[in-house]
Amino acid sequence: MNDKTGNFELLEPHSPDALIPDAPVAPWVIAAVAFFIVACVVFILTKKRRVLETSPQSLRAAAHAVAIESFDRLGACHPRDAAVLSSLIVRKYLSVAAKDPALFETHEETLSRHDALKEFSDVARVSAHDGFARLAALKYSPMNAEISSETIVLESRQLLETLHHGFQG
């Protein structure tokens, strides 16, 4: 019949390393370097964005936009209320834009501090002094029938613009 006998010789298994092509640099090194580069780029971009968002100019611009919006929302009201709200809006602007505690002080305290409004030009400081004195007079004295709330808001807006454009440096 068939005289063939099977050859059941055990062969040495091939190493799996022989199936991987030779590379000058291990793939995990390439992956680690790529990950490091991507992480550095992301870090630099987010840090740059954070610096831009918290720069003094961007903080001033944001505070100015909020103040303008607040003035726009002031409707027809009693002149004393307009003076109180206008003073609050300008002081809030100063607290954010100049990091000045004017929001939490009276106008006399703000103007009597030596370091008050030091970042502003002389014109802006004089305007702030006169503007806050006028608003205080309107808030605390008997009302003058000739003053309208629109006039108070307009003068306060002009004070805001003077302060906003009066930063030195």
- 120 three-class SS: strand
Domain match, 145 and 106 both: yes
Say if residue 81 is in the same domain as residue 136.
Answer: yes
pTM: 0.65
- Per residue of the chain (169 residues), give pLDDT as tens: 556 667 777 777 778 777 777 767 777 788 899 999 999 899 888 876 665 557 778 888 888 899 999 888 887 888 888 888 998 999 888 888 877 776 677 777 777 776 777 778 888 888 888 888 888 888 887 776 678 888 888 999 999 998 888 876 5
Does residue 134 sit within a domain?
A: yes
Task: Give me the sign of the Cα torsion angle 134, 139, 144, 145.
Answer: positive
Establish if 1 belongs to a structural domain.
no
Shared domain for 39 and 99, answered yes or no, is no
Half-sphere exposure of 51 (CA within 13 A, CB side): 6
Dihedral-angle region of residue 117 (phi above 0 means left; psi in -120 to 50 means alpha; beta otherwise) = left
Structural domain for 32, as ranges: 25-53
In sequence order, which ranges of the chain are alpha helices (DSSP H)?
27-53, 56-73, 79-97, 107-112, 122-140, 149-165
Total domains present in the chain: 2
- In this structure, the answer to whether residues 97 and 49 fall within a common structural domain is no
